[in-house]
């Protein structure tokens, strides 16, 4: 009964916290009403209603905390879109984001416009160019641009730093911890890959050496929790110390005290940011409830911990990490034993024990992940089963290597010992993430969460085998239907995908969302013009069209919606034509393509070649890049014709100014069959160019959900005026064009209402 009451209290408080942070205007009235209600219950002599009083007091406390933070958040919001200067104290570990910046949470000391800062203590998120000295406790002076966050964000302001200065470095235990971590990271990254970059993340939660590709693989394989300082890391530390002290004959009380002391030291070493403290609290409670021989009290202790953390920081209620930590810990306490008994009926006990823990966590966390993630891992349980045995070894031995930094020979030996399990986990993540069907794309939100929850419940029922037969039967039916649907989908999007596509297509505009990816095919050879924003969507289009190798890859320019899916064709490209290169990440992408065997070539006007029996020619940009050095107006414009390909011109993202220059250059000759409309149908178009092209069909590669209003009505009107029929991927899906007896043919994977999906 106590477990039920504390669980209800935690869920009610979670709901109150979400309500308060989403509608801060309600916080003071709510806090006052709850406080008055608690007093009223007590004054009425209803002492037996202590649970009601506790709920009201906790809700009042949450409301007061949220209300107290609003004045500071309002001050931060004034810096939205403005230049901002702030003196901040680093309050978390730093990690490298996709934009190459070093991102961390901080507490402001003062903030304001440059040269006019005012004292203020509030939570912010800061991104700066990588510099040494960004350690927990260090004080930095940051200048940059501010962006206000939503009410559910823990940080009230995001600062995109353009200039950073270390005003005072970390001191005390934080300085010692930072130095120890830095020495260990340097030692670990000298080891060979795979495994070297992952080891610091496994041992001390430092993920700065993890490559973007490995990070994606860890997410896809469901192993990303190993590189974050999660409850599993903390539980490993507690369990290891508990076991060592027990071997030495220490009493239970001594084991508990030393285990918690070691956990506290570990938290300081990896930086006591809120997520780490949260994981440590969850892990400590879960381990203590089990190690003290009272697992039945674990759920009540977990619920009370959730309540305490929500009162201390109500913004945890909107944190996916907080929800996943609580859910995983609850799964360990509630579901792992029933699953162990069920699995033990048809497999050896050690294997059942190893499988029950990750399976319990996956079935509980899956619905939560579906609320905010657009992919679900189908290999997570197996990948965790393979990788989990190596994780404690890498964590403990790596941590010992970190702590023995003052004895280099011993530290080197321990780091080398920790490298092997790290390499095992690295390889497991890479291989499992690369398996066909390793992940399934979902539309994140409540509907996906409900579907995943139903499937998760069905899995638990089938494995745990409760007494009610009808429940087992219904669950089995649900899983059979789900597996049949998934199997059919995998076949249709995998080996059988080409059977769903006409064989005589020559031009294909992939349904890639808000981005460009156009395929051209002649005499068995294929060109791909841009790769769209998402490698999974591009992979689906390549499978659907039966393309396994790209003979010519054209990267018109390096915006994410044109090159974000390039990883899908690494190792599968013959030649790469690319527009102007200006950034380091662009050079790294081209280097990856070259490492996979591709030949790189700058694209400029006059360059030409063949694709099977077809010929292609570059019409833009000019070799002299002084007018348009990079970006949309320096997009590669390609003309392709012959060999079964309708005469086609692809305009990249050219704006009206560069379109006028292209038109006046005289490089466009005669009418075309197909034009790839520039910039997803934006209104920045030159009508004269489309009148000169006189294309029969205008392909518009555009996403259904875009904030730009693409394609613009003005652009659709000018295409109509030029006699060009607009075909949009947001309405038709993948669009395929071919040529037969001089006639242009069109197919599409879906059609607007009232129109067939294929026509002449």
Q: How far apart are the C-alpha atoms of 321 and 558, rounded to whole Å? A: 33
Burial classification of residue 444, based on how many CB atoms lie within 10 Å of its CB (0-12 exposed, 13-18 middle, 19 or more buried): middle
Q: How far apart are the C-alpha atoms of 457 and 367, rounded to whole Å? A: 10
Residue 659: pLDDT over 80: yes
User: Mean pLDDT, to the nearest integer, of 69-96?
Assistant: 86
78-170: CATH superfamily: Nucleic acid-binding proteins (2.40.50.140)
Residue 498: pLDDT over 70: no
Q: pLDDT tens digit string along 232-253?
A: 667 677 777 877 888 888 777 7
Residue 496: pLDDT over 60: no
Q: pLDDT tens digit string along 315-341?
A: 888 887 788 777 877 777 777 788 777
Distances (CA, A) of 193 to 16, 414, 420, 423, 691: 47, 17, 10, 7, 56
Give the model's confidence band at 466: pLDDT under 50 very low, under 70 low, under 90 confident, else very high: low
Look at residues 649, 658, 661, 653 and name the one whose alpha carbon lies nearest to residue 556.
Answer: 653
Q: Which residues contact 66 (CB under 8 A, 6 or more apart)?
A: 17, 20, 21, 24, 27, 314
Look at residues 278, 97, 95, 330 and name the one whose alpha carbon lies nearest to residue 204.
Answer: 95
Q: Which residues contact 366 (CB under 8 A, 6 or more apart)?
A: 376, 452, 453, 455, 456
Is residue 660 within 8 A of residue 723, CB to CB? The reply is: no
pLDDT for 44 equals 72
pLDDT for 46 equals 60
Architecture of the 497-752 domain: 4-Layer Sandwich (3.60)
Radius of gyration of the chain (CA): 29
- Provide the whole-model pTM: 0.63
Q: How far apart are the C-alpha atoms of 688 and 692, rounded to whole Å? A: 6
Which of 297-301, 329-333, 507-511 is predicted least confidently? Answer: 297-301
Helical H segments across 23-108, by residue range:
27-43, 50-77
Residue 528: pLDDT over 90: yes
Bridge partners (DSSP) of residue 638 are 618, 650
Q: How far apart are the C-alpha atoms of 123 and 148, rounded to whole Å? A: 12
How long, in residues, is the chain?
Answer: 760
Q: Cα 277 to the chain's mean position, in Å?
A: 23
User: Mean pLDDT, to the nearest integer, of 513-528?
Assistant: 92
Token duo for residue 37: 């209600």
Helical H segments across 141-205, by residue range:
172-188, 199-204
User: Mean pLDDT, to the nearest integer, of 125-143?
Assistant: 87
Q: How far apart are the C-alpha atoms of 310 and 272, rounded to whole Å? A: 17
Angle between the N-to-C axes of helices 298-312 and 320-334, in degrees from 0 to 180, rounded to the nearest 10? 170
Which tops the pLDDT comparison, 366 or 518? 518
Give the model's confidence band at 141: pLDDT under 50 very low, under 70 low, under 90 confident, else very high: very high
Q: pLDDT tens digit string along 720-737?
A: 999 999 999 988 889 999
pLDDT for 619 equals 92
Which of 345-354, 409-418, 682-691 is predicted least confidently? Answer: 345-354
User: Mean pLDDT, to the nearest integer, of 744-754?
Assistant: 73
Structural domain boundaries in the chain: 2-73, 78-170, 180-340+385-436, 341-378+445-493, 497-752
Give the model's confidence band at 229: pLDDT under 50 very low, under 70 low, under 90 confident, else very high: low
Highest averaged pLDDT of the listed ranges 24-33, 112-121, 553-562: 553-562
Provide the percentage of residues in the chain whose pLDDT is more than 90: 19
Residue 459: pLDDT over 80: no
User: Mean pLDDT, to the nearest integer, of 570-594?
Assistant: 88
Q: Cα 237 to the chain's mean position, in Å?
A: 28
Give the model's confidence band at 437: pLDDT under 50 very low, under 70 low, under 90 confident, else very high: low
Is residue 648 within 8 A of residue 696, CB to CB? The reply is: no
Provide the percentage of residues in the chain whose pLDDT is more than 70: 88
pLDDT for 685 equals 92
Task: Write down the mean pLDDT value for the chain.
Answer: 82
Which tops the pLDDT comparison, 220 or 526? 526
Which of 58-62, 276-280, 422-426, 645-649 is predicted least confidently? Answer: 276-280
Give the model's confidence band at 760: pLDDT under 50 very low, under 70 low, under 90 confident, else very high: very low
Q: pLDDT tens digit string along 394-430?
A: 888 888 888 888 888 888 899 889 899 889 988 998 8
Q: Cα 742 to the chain's mean position, in Å?
A: 47
């Amino acid at each position: 009964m106590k477990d039920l009451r504390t669980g209800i209290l935690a869920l009610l408080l979670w709901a109150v916290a979400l309500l308060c942070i989403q509608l801060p205007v309600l916080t003071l009235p709510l806090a006052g009403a709850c406080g008055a209600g608690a007093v009223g219950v007590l004054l009425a002599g209803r002492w037996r209603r202590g649970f009601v009083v506790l709920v009201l007091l906790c809700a009042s406390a949450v409301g007061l905390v949220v209300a107290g933070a609003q004045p500071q958040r309002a001050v931060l919001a004034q810096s939205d879109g403005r230049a901002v200067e702030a003196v901040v104290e680093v309050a978390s570990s730093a990690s490298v984001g996709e934009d190459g910046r070093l991102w961390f949470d901080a507490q402001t000391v003062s903030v304001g416009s440059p040269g006019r800062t005012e004292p203020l203590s509030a939570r912010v998120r800061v991104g700066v160019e990588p510099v040494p000295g960004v350690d927990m406790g260090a004080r930095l002076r940051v200048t940059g641009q501010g962006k206000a966050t939503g009410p559910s964000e823990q940080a009230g302001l995001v600062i995109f730093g353009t200039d950073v200065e270390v005003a005072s470095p970390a001191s005390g235990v934080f300085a010692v911890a930072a130095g120890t971590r830095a020495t260990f990271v340097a030692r670990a990254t000298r080891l060979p890959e795979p495994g070297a970059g992952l080891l610091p993340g496994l041992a001390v939660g430092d993920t700065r050496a993890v490559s973007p590709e490995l990070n994606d693989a860890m997410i896809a394989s469901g192993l990303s929790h190993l590189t974050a300082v999660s409850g599993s890391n903390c539980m490993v530390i507690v369990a290891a110390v508990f076991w060592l002290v027990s071997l030495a004959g220490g009493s239970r009380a001594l084991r508990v005290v030393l285990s918690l002391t070691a956990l506290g030291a570990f938290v300081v070493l990896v930086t006591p940011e809120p997520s780490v403290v949260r994981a440590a609290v969850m892990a400590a409670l879960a381990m203590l409830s089990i190690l003290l021989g009272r697992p039945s009290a674990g759920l009540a202790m977990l619920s009370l911990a959730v309540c305490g953390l929500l009162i201390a920081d109500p913004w945890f209620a909107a944190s996916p990490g907080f929800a996943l930590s609580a859910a995983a810990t609850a799964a360990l306490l509630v579901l792992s034993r029933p699953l162990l008994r069920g699995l033990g009926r048809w497999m050896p006990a050690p294997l059942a024990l190893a499988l029950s823990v990750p399976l319990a966590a996956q079935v509980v966390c899956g619905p939560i992940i579906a609320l905010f993630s657009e992919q679900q891992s189908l290999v997570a349980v197996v990948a965790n089963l393979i990788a989990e045995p190596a994780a404690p070894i890498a964590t403990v031995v790596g941590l010992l290597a970190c702590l023995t930094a003052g004895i280099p020979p011993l530290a080197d030996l321990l780091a080398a010992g920790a490298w092997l399990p790290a390499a095992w986990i690295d390889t497991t993540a890479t291989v499992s993430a690369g398996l066909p069907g390793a992940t399934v794309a979902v539309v994140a939100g409540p509907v996906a969460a409900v579907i995943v929850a139903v499937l998760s419940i069905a899995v638990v029922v089938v494995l745990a085998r409760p007494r009610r037969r009808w429940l087992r039967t219904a669950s089995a039916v649900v899983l059979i239907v789900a597996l049949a649907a998934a199997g059919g989908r995998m076949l249709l999007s995998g080996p059988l995908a080409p059977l769903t596509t006409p064989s005589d297509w020559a031009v294909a505009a992939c349904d890639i969302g808000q981005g460009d990816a156009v395929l051209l095919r002649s005499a068995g050879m294929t060109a791909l013009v841009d790769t769209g924003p998402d490698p999974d969507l591009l992979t689906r289009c390549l499978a659907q069209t039966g393309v396994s190798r790209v003979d010519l890859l054209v990267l018109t320019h390096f915006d994410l919606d044109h090159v974000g899916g390039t990883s899908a064709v690494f190792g599968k490209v013959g030649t790469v034509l690319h527009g102007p290169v200006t950034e380091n990440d662009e050079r790294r992408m081209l280097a990856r393509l070259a490492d996979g065997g591709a030949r790189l070539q700058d694209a400029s006007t006059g360059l030409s070649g063949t694709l099977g029996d077809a010929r292609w020619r570059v019409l833009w940009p000019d070799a002299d890049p002084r007018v348009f050095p990079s970006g949309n107006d320096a997009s590669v414009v390609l003309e392709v014709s012959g060999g079964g390909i309708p005469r086609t011109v692809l305009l990249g993202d050219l704006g009206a100014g560069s379109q006028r220059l292209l038109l006046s250059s005289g490089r466009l000759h005669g009418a075309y069959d197909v034009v790839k409309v520039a910039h997803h149908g934006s209104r920045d178009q030159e009508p004269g160019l489309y009148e000169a092209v006189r294309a029969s069909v205008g392909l518009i590669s555009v996403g259904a959900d875009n904030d730009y209003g693409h394609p613009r009505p003005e652009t659709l009107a000018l295409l109509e005026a030029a006699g060009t029929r607009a075909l949009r991927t947001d309405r038709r899906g993948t669009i395929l064009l071919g040529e037969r007896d001089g006639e242009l043919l069109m197919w599409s994977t879906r059609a607007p209402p009232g129109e067939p999906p294929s026509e002449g």
